[in-house]
A and B are shown apart, each in its own frame.
Chain A
Amino acid sequence: MGYVLNRIALFPLVMLGVSVFVFVAIRLVPGDAITAMLGTEGGMLTPAQRETLTAYFGMDQNWFVQYGRWLAGLLQGDLGVSVTYGQPVLEIILDRFPLTLELAFLSMFIAIAIGLPVGIYAAINADRPSDLIVRVFAMIGQSTPNFVVALLAIYVLSVGFGVLPQMGRFVPFFDDPIGNLAQLILPAVALGTAFAAAVTRIARAAMLDVLSEDYVRTARSQGYSQSYVIWRHALPNALIPVVTLSGVEFGYLLGGAVIVEQIFALPGLGRVVLDAILQRDYALMQGVVLFIAFNFLVVNLLVDLAYAALDPRIRYGAK
């Protein structure tokens, strides 16, 4: 159990490091919250007014005190208030997160639904023409940035079929499932393409590895059918790297798809990050970045735990 416990014990330490990193990074951003809030009018403040505002934002204290206050607030779920939205940061995040979460699930579904069977098929037919075709497409898929897939998809749809992707107001799933899916399918495809290619490649490689193992050969020599050997012996072990890869990619997607969300005008976490940076909204930037890093760490921890559960060799501390 050493490995798993070690990972869990490190989690708070790394999270603390992340909070310090974010805190310091945001304070290094040129300009301050007052200028950001008032814009050029900030220059018209009298020294006394400026002092009052500085004290109001707690910026008259040193960094240690500021960090302590911020951390204390964090632990009570207080991420501060966004200047541009005029709303608590946590509220904004929780408002945008469902879209990002749904998009991540859809992309992962597309990636696994395509990547897993295709990868296994290619491994079983290794070095035949069909395998070669799969490998070529997987390589191309992995080399295509998601925003290029997004733009090409929009182009093909609008020129070839005269359809434009549905942009504008976001339709939540529970209000109108069909409208919601119609809106998210293209972004999910854009995000899922490289993901699917990666799943294909790793499923193929893992399956090839497993198929050359002694126990698979033994099962075959005992006269079990090809499909029995594949389903019963090979697949469960080949799934381990697929689970790991999918988990890590899912963690990335939870961080919001900055560019794809922008292209399709979707109000997810990626948009918030970009807005916060462009508008110099410090509280928002700080909160969102921390929230994303937290999710990313949690997902990676879960992936590690799943990996340990699936592979007993890891669980017992052997590397």
Chain B
Amino acid sequence: MQVFRALLRHQAGRLGLIVIGVFSLAAVLGLLGLTPHDPLAQDRLARLSPPNGTYLMGTDLFGRDIFSRLMVGVGQSFAVGLLSVGLATIVGTVLGLTAAWFGGLWDGVAMRSMDVLLSFPAILLALLIVAVMGPGLVTSVIAIGIVYTPIFTRVVRGPALSLKTRSFVDAARTFGSSRRYILTRHLLMNLIAPLTVQITLALAWALLTEAALSFLGLGTQPPHPSLGLMLSDSRNLMETAPWMLIFPAIVIMLAVLGFNLLGDALRDIFDPKSQERTP
């Protein structure tokens, strides 16, 4: 609650909250099927119509409503983003915490494995995983999740190493607290701030990666709408139907911008010293 209030006072944070709030609403409505038109319905008499009273953002080559398709597309993107970042957060945190706590061989194995994953540019690793698993939504979630796991592992391991040697952890040990209790209650609780910042920024990257995969035809499969696919479809029609390009472009920019603003604001709030510092 405190963080939320601080976000509202923070200029960029407020803006980010509003943008993400609006998009989340659209996403939920889109996923629930509460769109103005059926996103898959083809109105053959209204193919490629410019924005008008019936179709707020115009229609595509098949006469499908772009506004409704964007709502569902944002829903898909957010769902993939949340699930994949959630996956990366859980796996990365467990790996980072245990690596820091047990040290030794396990630390070496875990961190060198993360080094291997970090040796690939993000999109390349995602493509490799898609090649193994076949394209689709579930694959996108797993691929993006794996790509961002090492970042969370590193974010957690560093601070966990220094927390481990602090006197309150020793005290807890002396009192006979269980390992699990110390790891979750003392270490994890103190890592919530850096994790929150990282999760928000990772959501922005996840949206970009998901859009990139579906742009290449390796994410969401047609006829289901997704931001990347819609942009890809607009390529050959941008001169006759620029609305097919402009609206999805604005939507993806704003969504990523929203998460970036939130992430920056959270960093300012949790760590006032590092204002405006990019990772």
Q: Identify the A interface with B (CB < 8 A).
A: 10, 13-15, 17-18, 21-22, 25, 28-30, 135, 139-140, 142-145, 147-148, 151-152, 154-155, 158-159, 198, 201-202, 204-205, 208-209, 245, 251-252, 255-256, 258-259, 262-263, 273-274, 277, 280, 285, 289, 292-293, 296-297
Contact = CB atoms under 8 A, between A and B. Distances in A.
Contacts of A202: 277-278
B242 A17 contact: no
Given A14-B112, A143-B257, A205-B278, A259 B242 contact: no
A145 B120 contact: no
A316 B153 CA distance: 26
Nearest to B158: A319
B212 interface: yes
B112 A154 contact: no
Interface stretch (B61-69, B124-132, B189-197): B124-132
B22 interface: no
Given A151-B245, A205-B276, A259-B216, A293 B119 contact: yes
B112 A17 contact: yes
Interface of B: 12, 112-113, 115-117, 119-124, 127-132, 134, 204, 208, 211-212, 215-216, 218, 231, 234-235, 238-239, 242, 245, 249, 252-253, 256-257, 260-261, 264, 275-278
A316 B257 CA distance: 39
Say what secondary structure dominates the interface of chain A. helix
A292 B131 contact: no
15 contacts: A14-B119, A17-B112, A25-B129, A25-B132, A139-B261, A143-B204, A143-B260, A147-B231, A151-B234, A198-B278, A205-B275, A205-B278, A256-B124, A258-B216, A273-B127
Given A151-B231, A205-B276, A145 B212 contact: yes
Contact of B112 (A13, A22, A204): A13
A124 B180 CA distance: 49
